[in-house]
Amino acid sequence: MKDILKRNNVRVFGEGKKPMLFAHGYGCDQNVWTSITPAFEKDYQLIVFDYVGAGGSDLSAYDKERYSTLKGYSKDVLEICDALSLKEVIFIGHSVSAMIGVLAANDRPELFSKLVFLGPSPRYINDEGYVSAFERDDLEGLFEMMDNNYLGWSQALAPQIMANPERPELGQTLSNSFCATDPEIAKQFARVTFLSDNRADLEKLTVPSLTLQCAEDIIAPLAVGEFVNTHTRNNQLVILKATGHCSHMSAPEETIEAIKSFI
C-alpha cells in the first residue's frame, strides 16, 4: 500500500467521509486542483495524486510497457482506490483523465458513484463522421516539435491551451507544469494520449457522469463534448462560459458550481 501511495504521491485531506478523487490532465500534476478543492474540504474526503512522471511521483516506477496505453494509468487509479479502501468514489478527471476514469469505471463500476469530465475527448483525431481537434498530420508535427525542443514546445503551446490571453500568468503556470514533467515520459504520454480512441468505451459506461465543456477549447471542441454526451448513458452536458481547456484553473467558481449541482 505504501508503495502505491508513494509511487503516485497520493495526498488525502478533508473533513468528510465520501471520497472525491481528482485526476489531473496531461502535463500537469495535483497542484492544478488548488482552486477547486477548498470548496469541498468540509464535506468530502479529498484525494489528489500525480501520475508517474509528473509532480512528486516516483519516476523509478515508470514502466514503458505498462504505460503504453491509457489502461496502465487507469490501473493506477484502481490501485489507489484499493490502497485507500475507497468506495462510492466521485471521480473528477481533467482532459485525458476523463477517459482514464471511464476505463477504470468500466473495469470496476462498483467503486464509483459519479464521474465528472472536464474537457473530455474520446479521440483527438478527426475521423469519418467524427469531428475533433486534429488531423493525424497535425499531431505528427506536434510530436516532432516535442522531440526536438520539449521546453520550447511547452512554452509555445501552454498559452494556446489555456486560452486566456488577458491573464498570461495562467498560461505561464501551465507551461511551468509542462516543464516540471519528465520530458521523456511526457513525450510517450503525449503519444498515448493523442493517439487513443476511447469512443467504444463511452458506450459501456454505466456510472452516471457529467461533461463540463468550455465554450472555446482547441483541444476538445464543442462537437466533442456533444459526442461524449450523446454516446454515454446517464451523462449530463454543461457548457461553461469559460474558455480554454482548463476551467478548473481559469474559472474555478463556475466549475465548482457545476460540480456541486451534479453531485
Q: Which of the residues are catalytic?
A: 95, 217, 245
Cell of 66: 505498462
Q: How far apart are CA 258 and CA 238, in angstroms?
A: 7
Q: How far apart are CA 189 and CA 170, in angstroms?
A: 23
Q: Is 139 helix (H, G, I), strand (E, B) or coil?
A: helix
Q: How far apart are CA 133 and CA 147, in angstroms?
A: 21
- Output the CA–CA distances (angstroms, integers) from residue 226 to 42, 132, 212, 237, in the order listed: 33, 11, 10, 7
Q: How far apart are CA 3 and CA 246, in angstroms?
A: 30
Cell of 18: 465520501
| Residue (of 89, 88, 90, 97) closest to 118 by Cα position | 97
- Output the CA–CA distances (angstroms, integers) from residue 199 to 123, 127, 150, 255, in the order listed: 7, 11, 29, 25
Q: What angle do CA 40, 260, 6 make, to 5 degrees?
A: 40
